[in-house]
A and B are shown apart, each in its own frame.
Chain A
């Protein structure tokens, strides 16, 4: 389990992370999403011990992470901007990692390289961006660490490879209970794979929820009430995040348990009713709108 308690990180006067508190359970896929410049990469770097926190704690299975090789042995970090030493080949990379991660499975790695049609003796510097990423992800999987942190790691992968990599990750999670932390701006992808979502905005965690609970907690409702009085009465009972009206049609974003919302709406006369779950992207946009980070701000409206 990765536990982050009251984590603060600043560079000079810039507060990058502010009172971050959350927990990542074993075996789950944690999706970290956030606005640009929110501090996602800094958070990952602090979790992996690249940066030392100014205050607060980051522990992995009870062990503090910073300058602790025992704790760092438990995870593998794949940054968004990859680096390989001059002249390194996938084979030499495997040898290098073997010296650092004793559990690194060179045989498995060679097999995966073969499956992904990557030449182990060719210099990585000659590979394309996507191929380099494949090499790095496969190395991360074969390091056999308990946690894998992927920072925008699917960027540059074609849809087929992307799907193959996801399947590999799922297989590893099933087989050995690997825990994955993924940051990505591709919320559609996050929605497919993640169990838990954390939203970071301006150095703070604004939302941390189980994916199912998150999706069930907000819905889009389109309803026409039989009378204005009933409309007023019903709207007062609902927790409405956003409301629009086009004639008799109410367009609502309602927060609350889906079943409870349905019960309230079915208890009144309606001429039209449609309830739909929001996508993760919609939820994200709605959450950001609620705190003032929306399109109107950028469009100057």
Chain B
């Protein structure tokens, strides 16, 4: 079977008879949207936008993905009709040829529109004087993205269509694959955020969301143009497309085993879809109905029960298209499995049955630990001070673990006693345990009041007020070579210093920026003055009652394109007796007020 034979006998005829609409649609999309869009916005481009941004709007990618969904679904929708299956599958065409000729036909059908659009765009840009090597590269990239977007939508639609037996069920399955993990992740995130005290709701779920299927990954691929992982993400995209089409092919071969009217060619898959739908949708409706659930236990039981019944009916009707299936044992038990899974998730999150929320790792298994602290306290003028330190490495892992356990215990004690902590000031400390096995565990603890420790030592305060913590938090102060390393980096360095001053009634801020890395010397003078003052203070700590003010230093480095990145932030507390530092600030910042000294 040569490509010539295939082209003459199958592909050409098939395109002519069955796919011309796709060819025309591709032309309309590419030339209509792509070309006209550029023509309309060309005057804007020529004035403002960089050449590599010309084709990075995601609109055409979304359109081609949509066309791919339409094409994939319509191409294989014949599998849902007995008479169409009889017509096609009785023909002397092997399963492999039938599948791949269909796929090849559709991909070939959209290429003419995209290719023509590339050439037309080139002409338009040439005529308008925006034409360079970068423009050609971007045009080719845009063409590649369009094909990738089409392919991603196409293979997903093909897989979903093959695995189902009618269009509505295809739609349910598709939505489940595309959005199901996302909905589940968001719902779990919400559940964790609302019910767990020490686990921070994070976006870790969403990092993986982009790798579940090729359509979701399009967003990751698109954004990789800006963050440098472009080649890697393109390879991932191709890999996901190939895996999906391979799965579709395998499912296609199984299709001939079953009657067209059955829900799926793989019978057990229907039960998995049913169960998973129940879990996802119940979690999502629970997240939506949070306020009903949180009001009281009876309301939450009623709400969840009604949701379960409604979803049971809706999901199963979509799958089977009849109500009789609702009373079948297999339908009931597979749906029940989904409900039970949800209940497990619910109880684990709300009652911390697995002890995840209260987990503190064994110090021997921890490699390092970093702390991020946001603390508020009143200084000697009874003025509220706030100080934030991020990702401060603390060497004494054992002390941190001990602190975590104590904070959990105190929190539980107060919760048991039903004490309302509203009105207490609170500090939040985020602890990230970097394990020896490479994993990272992050927990968040809240410190309210020293009284809660009944006169015992407060491990939290011992850590954050320690010299070791201060030195780790402010390497810019204690490591004299710290700024030197920035001097050696390529690109520009920007230093911002923000000083907030308070005169008791008004809060004003002044900001000045050092834009030239040569002015690092000025900052080094400030730091030298600060170190001198610090040495004179003795026991001064980061969160000392004598802190009057803070100087925030931001360091940013720009890349070749002039975009700022690698932003590092230090907040340096200044005590009321830091005379050298204050003198420097007054000299350097004309707007700096001395009112607080008075």
Is B18's CB within 8 Å of the partner chain A?
yes
Q: Is the CB of A82 closer than 8 A to any CB of chain B?
A: yes
Given contacts A79-B86, A82-B83, A83-B87, contact A11 B262 (CB under 8 A): yes
Contact call B92/A83, Cβ cutoff below 8 A = no
Q: Which residues of A contact B94 (CB under 8 A)?
A: 67-69
Q: Across the interface, do A12 and B262 meet the contact criterion of CB distance under 8 Å? A: yes
A115 on the B face (CB < 8 A): no
B: interface residue count bin: 20 to 34
With A79-B83, A81-B82, A81-B83 in contact, is A72–B13 under 8 Å at CB?
no
Contact call B95/A72, Cβ cutoff below 8 A: no
Tell yes or no: A241 within 8 A of B by CB. Answer: no
B12-69 contacts to A (CB < 8 Å)? 13, 17-18
B76-95 contact mask (Cβ, 8 Å, vs A): 1 or 0: 00000111111101111111
CB closest chain-B residue, reference A48: B90
B17 partner, pick from A11, A67, A83, A96, beta carbons under 8 A:
A96
Whether a CB of chain A sits under 8 angstroms from the CB of B467 is no
Residues from 164 to 196 in A contacting B, C-beta threshold 8 Å: none
Which of A87-95, A202-210, A276-284 contacts the other chain? A87-95
Q: Looking at the assembled complex, report how far the CB atom of B10 sits from the nearest CB atom of chain A, in whole angstroms.
A: 6
B9 to chain A, nearest CB (A): 4
Check if A73 is an interface residue, CB within 8 A of chain B. Answer: yes
Using Cβ atoms and an 8 Å threshold, which residues of chain A touch B87? 79, 82-84
Asked if A85 is at the interface (CB within 8 A of a chain B CB), the reply is yes
* Interface of A: prevailing SS: loop
A100 at the interface (CB under 8 A from B): yes
Tell me which residues from 22 to 57 in chain A have a Cβ below 8 Å from any Cβ of chain B: 45, 48-52
Which residues of chain B are within 8 angstroms of A88 by Cβ–Cβ distance? Answer: 17
Q: Give the CA-CA distance A11 to B264 in the complex, in Å.
A: 12
Most buried by A among B92, B93, B95: B92
Q: Which of B82, B91, B256 contacts A100 (CB 8 A)?
A: B91
CA distance A86 to B20 in the complex (A): 11
Asked if B92 contacts A50 (CB within 8 A), the reply is no
Question: Closest Cβ of chain A: how far from B199's Cβ, in Å?
Answer: 44
A83 and B257 form a contact (CB under 8 A): no
Residue contact A72 to B90, C-beta cutoff 8 Å: yes
Residues of the A chain whose Cβ atoms lie less than 8 Å from the Cβ of B257: 51-52
B17–A85 contact, CB under 8 A? yes
State whether the Cβ of A247 lies closer than 8 Å to any Cβ in chain B. Answer: no
In the complex with contacts A79-B83, A83-B81, A95-B13, A100-B18 CB distance below 8 A = no
- Are the CB atoms of A83 and B84 closer together than 8 Å? yes
Q: How many residues of chain A have a CB within 8 Å of chain B?
A: 33
Check A83 against B95 for contact (C-beta < 8 Å).
Answer: no
Bound: A86/B97 CA distance, A: 22
Q: Find the B residue at minimum CB distance from A92.
A: B17
Chain A proximity of B75: nearest CB distance (Å): 12
Residues of A within 8 A of B256 (CB): 50-52, 66-67
| Interface presence of A101 (CB below 8 A) | yes
In the complex, the chain B residue whose C-beta lies closest to that of A69 is B92
Asked whether B267 is an interface residue with its Cβ less than 8 Å from the other chain, the reply is yes
Closest residue to B13 on the A side, CB-wise?
A99
Question: Bound complex: CA of A50 vs CA of B10, how far in Å?
Answer: 20
Nearest A residue to B95 via CB reads A67
**Contact (Cβ within 8 A) B92 A72:** yes
User: Which residues of chain A are near B13, meaning CB under 8 Å?
Assistant: 95-96, 99
Query: B259 within 8 Å of A by Cβ?
Result: yes
CA distance A79 to B89 in the complex (A): 11
Q: Is the pair B93, A69 in contact by a Cβ cutoff of 8 Å?
A: yes
Does B509 interact with chain A (Cβ within 8 Å)? no
Contacts of A250 in B (CB 8 A): none
Q: Which chain A residues lie closer than 8 Å to B84 at the CB level?
A: 83
A-side contacts of B95, CB under 8 Å: 67
Shortest CB-to-CB span from A132 to chain B, Å, is: 12
Is B258 on the interface with A (CB-CB < 8 A)?
yes
Residues from chain B with Cβ under 8 Å of A49 in the complex = 89-90
A82 to B82 alpha-carbon distance, docked (Å): 10
Given A67-B94, A99-B13, A11 and B259 touching (CB < 8 A)?
yes
A67 neighbours in B (Cβ, 8 Å)? 94-95, 256
Q: Are A73 and B92 in contact (CB under 8 A)?
A: yes
* Interface membership of A77, Cβ < 8 A: yes
B67 to chain A, nearest CB (A): 18
- A81-B83, A83-B84, A92-B17 known; A50-B90 Cβ under 8 A: yes
A19–B218 Cα distance when bound, in Å, is 51
Known pairs A49-B90, A69-B92; A83 contacts B258 (CB<8 A): no
In the bound complex, what is the Cα–Cα distance between A48 and B92 (angstroms)?
A: 9
Question: What are 9 A-to-B residue pairs whose CB atoms are below 8 Å?
Answer: A12-B262, A45-B86, A72-B91, A83-B81, A83-B86, A83-B87, A92-B17, A95-B13, A99-B13
A: residues with CB less than 8 A from B are 11-12, 45, 48-52, 66-73, 76-77, 79, 81-88, 92, 95-96, 99-101
Extra inter-chain contacts (9) besides given A69-B92, A82-B87, CB under 8 Å? A12-B262, A51-B257, A77-B86, A79-B83, A83-B86, A87-B17, A96-B13, A99-B13, A100-B91
For the complex of A and B, 9 pairs with smallest distance between CB atoms: A72-B92, A77-B90, A99-B9, A79-B86, A81-B83, A83-B87, A69-B92, A73-B92, A83-B83
